[in-house]
Structure 1
Amino acid sequence: MLTLLNTLVDKTHDVELNYVAHEQSQGRTQAANAGLLCATGEFSIFLDDDDYFDPSHISKLVQAHISVFQDNNILGAVHCRARAVHIDGQGEEQLLSLQGGPLAKDQLFYQNLMPILTVLFPTRVRELGTTFDDSIDLFEDWDFWLQFNRVGRFHFIDEVTCAYRIHLNQSGAQEQAKQEAAYETIYNKWLPSLTHKELTLLLAKTHQWHELRVAALQDQNTKELSRIGDLHSFALKTIADKDQDIAHLTRIYQRVEKECQEKEAALKSEKKKNLDYKHYQASLRKEEREIQRLRRPHPLYFLYRCGKSAIHFCRNIFKRHN
């Protein structure tokens, strides 16, 4: 783990690494407190090991914090939205929902709308006694935000710049019982700090917040269905275009194949003509040789001429002697 962190830090020279390792696991709250205690920067933010930030996540939160809180001397935290995702069997990331949103007054007593990786807060809150409660092992971040809510203010920016993974195998009855016990722990700790009037107003608003939450989820689902529909339409159009391309390429292939066949047939014809021409030339040469042979005098013809000349010579001699 340390080797991996050092490798990452080597690629980002402006990041200072302070790695704290416990010999034995001490739970989420102890780990969070250890990290907060060792933090030296002006701001702090938490990230679980299976979640991730987009490259612009921290910079956008810091810019928003400077813009909203720097000039008015208010202790503030900035939070945004996060993608709740699931990794399917093929290793592909699937979007389940968007988490996070603006907080209404006292809404934090009813529900936690801020995944821990979405909140950037001043590190100096630890000097004000805001730390993680060691007795809480689930929803410990919710308790931390309630503590911060007593001394500071939250500001929401409508950006989605991080993601956290939801493990679908953790939705059984045992997990549900743990969550119910954690809700009871939070409510027992914080609701007594409210007056009767505040509790009454809180109870009245819970119905409204629940309806708003359901409406927001429905809106997300509608947008996601619309996006899926658009992707489906695009896929159908792409398939139709590809089919047209395939048909066009098929026609081109058939035309080229026909041309190749015609050229091959023409080539065979030319080869046959060339072969016939060679045979014709060979035949002509043979006939020419035969004619030349016939034109040459026969050896007996020379003997005949010689014999005839000899007879004529002898006759002339004979005549001279007589």
Structure 2
Amino acid sequence: MENFKITVSIIIPTCYSRNSVQNSVASVLNQNYPNLEVIVVDDNNTDCRNNLRQLLGNDRRIKIVRNSKKHGASQARNFGVNVASGELITFLDDDDCFMPGRLKSMVEVFNTVGNDYSFISSGRFTETGDFSGIELVCDQKFGRISMNDVIFSNNIDIGVLIKRDFFVELKGFDENLNSLEDWDLFIRALKIKDAYKIKRFDYVASKTDSDYRVSAREHKGYFDIAKKYGSQFGKKWICTMNAKGLLLSGRLSLGVVLLLSFKSCSIRPLNVYLSAKYPRTIRTLKKYIL
């Protein structure tokens, strides 16, 4: 018999986006997993706990806490973990949601192979406007995930299932990073042990006109990641990260990318440029040639 007695804590940081956080929390409360707690972290500049309580209701599984320290996604998530009581934790952005059955599916895999892996993940897709449009995230690998699978790009969503004690051992999210803090956490975890990704598309990332999942600060995140791990991953990796950062900042010209490719003796920086400029052509080449 499967062990569903383990408590899972779901950490949801929010700046009080009314409709989206309500939908996110509802998607968790409607899961068919019996032992869960929802930690909603109020990360707004002003105290919104009363407003959140009125919005989200009095379900005993919901715990609303306020991050009164430095605000930011990493800080809010780490704060949420500190007050969580679950042996297992996972995360959800306040504009995303879980598909039905997600938690139960992940715990089932954890009960079977959890001790062999650093964390459990699953597939994701994006939606626009109440599921009026759906787009699967391409190039997702399933099964065993190693460092080599995420070293140049991250296709793992924030909602990984991870032991709370292991998360604390990793010292949580790096609060010095302005973005890509999830990728950084996965890199540190995978240095210790491989992960496992379930072939089930049940993490829903919302895409809106104002937010295409690329924050205004994400370009700086690539530069920060390059500095943090450059000595470990080498020149080819550094130049590729810098190419991605320059691309997002709008400063990646053909001349610059050719210089980065020459400097790193690699076509990876050039591929960053071409994939953005000619996405369909590059996808076709990867499918039939590479």
- TM-score, normalised on structure 1? 0.53
Indicate conservation of the 8 Å contact 2:178/2:220, yes or no. Answer: no
| Superposition RMSD in Å | 3.7
- The AA in structure 2 aligned to 1:120 is L
Quick one: distance in 1 between partners of 2:198 and 2:189?
A: 18
Alignment match, 1:122: 163
Are residues 1:59 and 2:104 paired?
yes
Indicate conservation of the 8 Å contact 2:119/2:196, yes or no. Answer: yes
- The AA in structure 1 aligned to 2:127 is V
Quick one: distance in 2 between partners of 1:35 and 1:149?
A: 23
Deviations 1:205-251, CA, capped at 9 Å, x for gaps: 959x989x979976xxxxxxxxxxxxxxxxxxxxxxxxxxxxxxxxx
1:3-18 equivalences under 5 Å are 3-7=54-58, 9-10=59-60, 15=61, 17-18=62-63
SS in structure 1 at match of 2:121: strand
Are residues 1:32 and 2:77 paired?
yes
Are residues 1:133 and 2:133 paired?
no
1:112-191 equivalences under 5 Å are 112-117=154-159, 119-170=160-211, 178-191=217-230
Are residues 1:109 and 2:148 paired?
no
Quick one: distance in 2 between partners of 1:215 and 1:124?
A: 45
Measured after TM superposition, the shift of residue 176 of structure 1 is 7.6
Measured after TM superposition, the shift of residue 39 of structure 1 is 2.0
Measured after TM superposition, the shift of residue 165 of structure 1 is 0.7
SS in structure 1 at match of 2:64: coil
Measured after TM superposition, the shift of residue 41 of structure 1 is 1.2
Measured after TM superposition, the shift of residue 180 of structure 1 is 2.4
Quick one: distance in 1 between partners of 2:123 and 2:85?
A: 26
Quick one: distance in 2 between partners of 1:55 and 1:162?
A: 10
Alignment match, 1:2: 53
Are residues 1:86 and 2:128 paired?
yes
Quick one: distance in 1 between partners of 2:201 and 2:112?
A: 19
- The AA in structure 1 aligned to 2:223 is E
Indicate conservation of the 8 Å contact 1:44/1:122, yes or no. Answer: yes
Quick one: distance in 1 between partners of 2:87 and 2:266?
A: 39
* Percent identity of equivalent pairs: 19
Q: Which has the higher strand share?
A: 2
Quick one: distance in 2 between partners of 1:188 and 1:198?
A: 11
Structure 1 residues 93 and 74: alpha-carbon distance in aligned structure 2, compared to 1, 3 A threshold? same
Alignment match, 2:3: none
Deviations 1:54-82, CA, capped at 9 Å, x for gaps: 1200110111122123xxx4352111111
Alignment match, 1:77: 119
Deviations 1:95-120, CA, capped at 9 Å, x for gaps: 13336433454232211111112x11
Indicate conservation of the 8 Å contact 1:110/1:206, yes or no. Answer: no
Measured after TM superposition, the shift of residue 127 of structure 1 is 3.6
Indicate conservation of the 8 Å contact 1:109/1:191, yes or no. Answer: no
SS in structure 1 at match of 2:156: coil
SS in structure 2 at match of 1:133: coil
Structure 1 residues 2 and 165: alpha-carbon distance in aligned structure 2, compared to 1, 3 A threshold? same
Quick one: distance in 2 between partners of 1:181 and 1:68?
A: 36
- The AA in structure 1 aligned to 2:180 is F
- TM-score, normalised on structure 2? 0.58
Q: Which has the higher helix share?
A: 1
Quick one: distance in 1 between partners of 2:122 and 2:267?
A: 23
Indicate conservation of the 8 Å contact 1:75/1:122, yes or no. Answer: no
Structure 1 residues 34 and 214: alpha-carbon distance in aligned structure 2, compared to 1, 3 A threshold? farther
Structure 1 residues 65 and 205: alpha-carbon distance in aligned structure 2, compared to 1, 3 A threshold? farther
Indicate conservation of the 8 Å contact 1:84/1:166, yes or no. Answer: yes
Structure 1 residues 164 and 45: alpha-carbon distance in aligned structure 2, compared to 1, 3 A threshold? same
Indicate conservation of the 8 Å contact 2:125/2:201, yes or no. Answer: yes
Measured after TM superposition, the shift of residue 144 of structure 1 is 1.2
SS in structure 2 at match of 1:32: helix
Quick one: distance in 2 between partners of 1:191 and 1:28?
A: 24
Q: Unaligned 5+ residue runs, structure 2?
A: 1-51, 240-263, 285-290
